[in-house]
Amino acid sequence: MKKLSRSLENYIEAVFIVSKEYGKCRVTDIQKKLKVSKPSIVNALSILKKKKLLFQEKYGLIYLTESGLKTAKKIYKKHTTILKFLENIFDLRAVKAEKIACDMEHIIDKKIQNKMEKILKNFNPEVKKILYGEKDETFAIKRG
Amino acid sequence: MKKLSRSLENYIEAVFIVSKEYGKCRVTDIQKKLKVSKPSIVNALSILKKKKLLFQEKYGLIYLTESGLKTAKKIYKKHTTILKFLENIFDLRAVKAEKIACDMEHIIDKKIQNKMEKILKNFNPEVKKILYGEKDETFAIKRG
DNA sequence: ATTCTATGTTAGAATAAACTAACTTTTATA
DNA sequence: TATAAAAGTTAGTTTATTCTAACATAGAAT
């Protein structure tokens, strides 16, 4: 399946998050999440339907297909990893980190995501000090 | 001045890099760099001219204005910082890092750039091991 | 000087993604 | 049940960015 555009990735991710948070998803919910007009959403949904990534009851609820769910989960996981990385490693505040993660998730690939996860797993205030050179780790080198 | 689009940032950056590398810049040079059609370049240049970021001799060489140079340098600096970060911290190969940096440079802000620079300044193989948890730094914590 | 080739430009079309305005369907409520 | 409000859809427009094809100009080579 051809890679989704940045825009379509955002829509399918929104469907996933809204469904997760509210237990269901309608056009209006996506509107609140993404702050775009309803026709824009309808248009995006029609493309995602053609790609069999989701379906919708007439004038009603939106559901991800199995393959849509798989796709959305990947994007969402990447999003949360990037978010944590921005907050923890770069000290970004939640709101700003959220915005930047939203853009970065369409760029970062699996390899970088894995590296981020590995770093986060092991991250703590001491590692942070060393990373930013606020602590001399040379003695650690000598003993390492 | 309104923020440039991703696309226009790429064009002005290309003008900067080509000028730096060849001492001059023509449409064809940009074409080689960006791999887009000439009309696309001409179109982008016409917008950047309107914004007084560059000018061009008739059928000839392209020059950045003072403000264009300032803008381009900012983008380029951000690009090289991201590139180094991707190569050093995430072990990306040059070609791939280059591609991703090209996308990231339009997203990352000054604050993140500064953090990246600070981290890079201080980075070495030992810090890297600690970052990825390949070395136990607990003794460093206890003595810190 | 004329002609060939590089390079640069214009015109017109395609695509993606957004919008507003108007319309339809569904749901809630009086 | 009739009507009002909310939700969803359609039609048509706009903007940004790209493209191909056709054309214009400049510089090099004969």
**What are the pLDDT digits (tens) for A64-103?**
999 999 999 999 999 999 999 999 999 999 999 999 999 9
Q: Does A130 contact B137 at a Cβ distance shorter than 8 Å? A: yes
Q: Of A89, A107, A118, which is closest to B103 when you measure between CB atoms?
A: A107
- Top CATH class of A6-71 equals mainly alpha
A119 residue type, one letter: I
Q: Does A135 contact B122 at a Cβ distance shorter than 8 Å? A: no
Q: Which residue has 């951000």 as its token pair?
A: B78
Residues of chain A scoring pLDDT < 50: 141-144
Q: What is the pLDDT of residue B137?
A: 57
Q: What is the pLDDT of residue A134?
A: 86
- DSSP per-residue codes, A19-85: HHHHSS--HHHHHHHH---HHHHHHHHHHHHHTTSEEE-TTS-EEE-HHHHHHHHHHHHHHHHHHHH
The confidence band for B138, taking pLDDT boundaries of 50, 70 and 90, is low
Q: What is the pLDDT of residue A122?
A: 93
Tens of pLDDT along B44-59?
A: 999 999 999 999 999 9
Helix or strand holding residue B12 (H, E) = helix B6-22
Find the mean pLDDT for residues B70-76: 98
CB contacts of A103 in chain B (<8 Å) are: 107
Q: What is the pLDDT of residue A142?
A: 45
Q: Are strands B54-56 and A54-56 parallel, antiparallel or unpaired?
A: unpaired
Q: What is the pLDDT of residue A135?
A: 73
Residue B124 reports pLDDT greater than 90: yes
Q: What is the pLDDT of residue A144?
A: 36
Query: Is some CB atom of chain B closer than 8 A to the CB atom of A97?
Result: no
Q: What is the pLDDT of residue A2?
A: 81
A4: left (phi over 0), alpha (psi -120 to 50) or beta: beta
Residues B128, B91: Cα–Cα separation, whole Å:
10
The confidence band for B34, taking pLDDT boundaries of 50, 70 and 90, is very high
Q: What is the pLDDT of residue B143?
A: 41
Q: What is the pLDDT of residue A139?
A: 52
Beta carbons of A101 and A86 less than 8 angstroms apart? yes
Q: What is the pLDDT of residue B144?
A: 36
Residues A128, B69: Cα–Cα separation, whole Å:
36
Residues A93, A87: Cα–Cα separation, whole Å:
6
User: Which nucleotides of strand D lie under 7 Å from a protein CB?
Assistant: 6-12, 16-21, 25-27
User: Does strand C come within 7 Å of the CB of A7?
Assistant: yes
Tens of pLDDT along B78-111?
A: 999 999 999 999 999 999 999 999 999 999 999 9
Query: Is some CB atom of chain B closer than 8 A to the CB atom of A130?
Result: yes
- Tell me the C-alpha to C-alpha distance, in Å, between residue A85 and each of A93, A114, A122, B105: 11, 11, 12, 17
Q: What is the pLDDT of residue B142?
A: 44
The confidence band for B1, taking pLDDT boundaries of 50, 70 and 90, is confident
Mean pLDDT of chain B: 93
Q: What is the pLDDT of residue B135?
A: 73
